[in-house]
Amino acid sequence: MADAGAKAALYDALAEAAKALANGRRAELVDVLAQGERSVEELAAEIGQSVANTSQHLQRLLRSGLVRSRREGTRVYYSLSGPVVGDLWGAMRRAAQEHAEGLEQLAADYLGDRSRLRTITRDDLRARLRDGDVVVLDVRPEAEYAAGHIRGAMSIPIRDLRSRLGEIPDGADVVAYCRGPYCVYADEAVRLLADRGVSAARLEDGFPEWARARLPVGRR
């Protein structure tokens, strides 16, 4: 008969990944790292934490095997340990969306009223890219665009969009995207473009979901 202690130890080990993600800041880190490799300093800025606190969270993720690190000079860079980590985060997020009470209101408190924002599905965007009748706008930071982006997308980080509106072709129909369904950058881009009279929609999710669906990706 199998040893009960060994069984308990096995399930405890299997739960380590979930325990590592059972913290909002670590979940944020995984969400950012799903876009590509980043330094500790960059990650700290992205999640609004000190470098020391961010490093502690990253060490917890590292011990659980969810991320890996490399050193370049004095800087340490982190990345997800594999695509399955992004899948895990996506599954956790979907489970919360479907079953966690109050999540919709929390999202509305953060993202604002989305009722007037046009959205487009991945399948529809793929078809429009084939037809060549849409401008796809990546509003994530430049480092994330360089690590991977929807093939054919132009990069204008959200912080630069107001000053670079002239780069968007006149009369264009624009689809903006960023990190995922709870990323505010694309919402801000669509609202800004709409205020300027530009036809704009946001992709319903973000780049990681596009890549996991094995849709066309570019890198530079």
Produce one character per residue of 60-91: b if its CB has 16 or more CB atoms within 10 Å, e if not: bbbebebbeeeeeeeeeebbbbeeebbebbbe
The yes-or-no answer on residue 178 being catalytic is: yes
Cα 219–182–207 angle (5° rounding)?
15
Marked catalytic residue, from 178, 193, 200, 211: 178
Torsion sign, CA atoms 202, 183, 68, 219: positive
User: Could you count the other beta carbons within 10 Å of the beta carbon of residue 56?
Assistant: 13
Catalytic residue annotation: 178
